Amino acid sequence: MGKTLFSRAVCQTAPYFSSISPTVETLAPGRCVVTMKKRRKVTNHLKTVHAIAMCNMAELAGGLLTDASIPKGARWIPSGMTVKYLKKAKTDLTATADGSSLDWSEEGTVRVPVSVTDTSGQEVFHALIDMNIKHTR
């Protein structure tokens, strides 16, 4: 129940994320993994996962990763996102934000990569999310 309760708490804090019913599978400095089931409410007219649902999922994974990775006392806000739709998303999805090679010590823009894969491990969507980092002094 820990993952479920934590995921629900995140959605209470930022309610829009509840539209995709995410589950936070892994959260640690440098890594965040979020899953989403393919349900009718996240599909489009093609019966595939809607592009904006994947954007929402990527922003959640990237934001949680950033929160877990920035220095104590720093703050952040997303300032942009570049996405690529690589293939139709026909299954449940996993978003992995990998910040293990990013430098979180500097102020300014950090580009967080997020890969969304289907149940066969194929990447269906890729995002680079610009996070504006500010250190409090």
Map tokens 């936070």 to a residue: 24
**pLDDT for residue 8:** 85
In the beta sheet, which residues pair with residue 116?
95, 125
Which residue type sits at 56? N
Model confidence, pTM: 0.92
pLDDT tens by residue, 107-136: 999 999 999 999 999 999 999 999 999 988
pLDDT at 137 over 80: no
Lowest mean pLDDT among 48-52, 57-61, 102-106: 102-106
Residue environment code for 33-61, b if the CB has 16+ CB neighbours within 10 A, otherwise e: bbbbebeeebeeeeebbbeebbbbbbbbb
Which residue type sits at 110? V
Q: How far apart (Å, rounded) are the C-alpha atoms in residues 132 and 112?
A: 11
Q: How far apart (Å, rounded) are the C-alpha atoms in residues 32 and 63?
A: 9
Q: How far apart (Å, rounded) are the C-alpha atoms in residues 120 and 111?
A: 27
